[in-house]
Structure 1
Amino acid sequence: MAVITGKQRLPSQFWVLWAATLVNRAGGFVIIFLTIYLTTQRGFSASTAGLVVGLYGVGGAVGVTVGGHLTDHWGRRPAALLSLGSSSVLMLALGLARGPVEIITAAVLLGAAAEAARPPLGAMIADIVPTELRMRAFSTYYWAINLGFAVSAALAGFAAQAGYFTLFAADAATTAAAALLIAWRIRETRPAAAPHEEEHERGGLRAVLHDRVFLGFVACNLLVALVLLQHMSMLPLAMIDDGLSSQTFGLVIALNGVLIVAGQMGVTRLLSTRRPAYVMPVSAVIMGVGFGLTAFAHTPLLYAGTVLVWTVGEMLNAPSNSALLAGLSPVRMRGRYQGFFGLSWQVASFLAPTLGGLVRENRHLGNTGLWLGCLGAALVAAVWSLSAARAREHRVAALTERELAKIEL
């Protein structure tokens, strides 16, 4: 990996995407508090609330697939604008929904619209940022996501006191603002393809499904995501079981964003000389230990301690994961590769709350079984990632050499 000097600057269009993401995430109240909203305001059981959040993930699975296709065939910019614009409208629809059918329908549609933004935004960054700056770019972008998350998590509990619809309205407004910023300042970034390349790419999805190295990478991420997403679904319910308030949960989980905001740039410097394929198994172990320790947490201080541990793992994982994803994705099929990778998050969005709710309500397992199970899943992912690291690095090197050869021609 090339050494990055302080004189090298990230492109201006990257900073527009950074700002749009920060605005959007700073108002991302709804998903953080959705399980609490459904159980306390709409009378859903924990397992039913988990199912609704899971169905949001089902919608997201459709969204990233369609979004990936549109990203490559229609363009990065229009795909992103369609996703953000429709998400803003559907956020309000979910806030206004009252019956179970209406809530489930709105959640599925919102999941599809919101998650369709992942492929175009990821492809834009890969298009805009040179290879040698990607680790810094993804770390900085991840920093913006978590700065926004810290703000939204800290404010959401207090905003909910004015009425839960306030959360939906604020989320819709910030999503619309992000769309307007991209529409105003971002030009299309999709590289023009030669005719023979366009013909070859008609079988793009089939090529993804035959890419064993990439599929293994996606499967490992699924295991990690199943663990990490428990902080959005089962962690708030575990804290409520211990007699803690939603405001306390908001402050404790905000520590995740605060730690990332405070430390991610230092982690970026650390990772600039590390190989992403070998950072990922280390990060999985640390995340697993953090969630495993949650089994023994019953006070705000102890919960905060567990958040501290798994956040360190997340800080190592996210930029390494994104940089490796960019390296494993052929340039002309970035949208489809980004979309297929996004499926692992959407499948986890369904399975994490659904399985988490079932395990939590099992009288033989409960919260303790859930958190220790998270530790086990993370350790499996770590071993798998370590065994596949060499093959992943070989694939990145081969794709990079191929693209350089095209440029020289």
Structure 2
Amino acid sequence: MAKTLSIVIPALNEEGAIGSTIERCLEAREAIKEQAGLDNVEILVVNDGSTDRTDEIARSFKDVSVITFPVNQGYGAAIKEGWNQSSGDYLAFLDADGTCDPLFFANLCSVVRAESADVALGSRMGPDSKMPKIRRLGNNIFACLLGMLSGRRITDTASGMRVVRRDSLRHLYPLPNGLHFTPAMSARALLNDLKVIEIPMAYEERIGDSKLHALRDGFRFLKAIWAGVLCYRPESILLAAMIGCLTLTGLMAMYPVEFYINNGRLEEWMIYRFCACHLLGSIAFMLFLSIGFLSRVADIGPRRAEAARFWPHLISQTLNVRVMAVAIFVQVGMATMFLIPGITDYLQTGHISLHWSRLLAGAFLLCTAASSGIFTFLGEVVTSWLGQHAGRFPAKVKTNTLTVVHAPESQRLAG
């Protein structure tokens, strides 16, 4: 079966570099085909609203397809339109500024084919890179952040030279139109446990002025990573917050518990610690229930890796009516044990002499019982919806990553 690599070159006012970049791609075609075992390599230039001679220079090459946007639509938009109009089984893009060697596509494409990878990217962070120090620092920060959130490590989240398997796009889309296209792709691929392989590559100084603004685009890169977390790993944020709250609760409760065990009483000043533990414990329990609820509704969201859902799915198993009914019964029963002496005292004397520690403990248990009831109800509502619309949701789950893409693009990529 014939295999084709489609190389898209997005270009905005790159008259100084576009010609040499295209020439290098054309010269590398045969070597790429031979080394990667391909039948064809096609090259598409997307002129993203350039106001200089970029379009004219690109059209002077016979074996290159040129797509022209009348006005600038963005780096990501140019790549997506190029992919949309391409015919390759493997999709690639290359910056037009002359910083990367097109021959390196042979390595990337070979790795994708040999390792059945979804994405292969060239890392600009190696010893042969001439990347400016400020951009190198930013890349290191974004790589560390994404690594902590995904549990996987790549060194260059914004590499402008990649090869993507076409049938993996359904797990990557939607992607933004701007320069944050590349970190958004990295975030979606890593957070959704797609197979990503990174290979160090040489990186030269660019020709012409950079379109990247460190502060503005750095903020967009962070937003792209955050959007990926919200899409694929929202429970991980809640789980980390829950663990933090439980840790603080345990640390604050340690001394009062030890004091009570040794002395059989509590000091009055300890009420402040009890109040803090009440607050943190209530938040931790709400986060626990929220994790289970999010895992329940994940079936109507995008496809997610099973490994990423293990703990949330385990927690969600507690949000069934039978388990939660038992939990609520136990919570209310224990609260009654703490509060009944005060209630009896009030009914008999009209006064309450109940110790504040019993009042706080009872209030905490009643709050958690109420939260359990509310989240159980919400969980049953979602289960009812899923059952009622069982015939419609599976199709959405399979294709939802393309639903926000314009129709022509969606139809082409789906095919």
Greater RCO, CA 8 A, separation 6+: 1
Q: What TM-score comes out, normalization by structure 2 length?
A: 0.24
| Structure label with greater radius of gyration | 2
Identify the structure with the greater strand proportion: 2
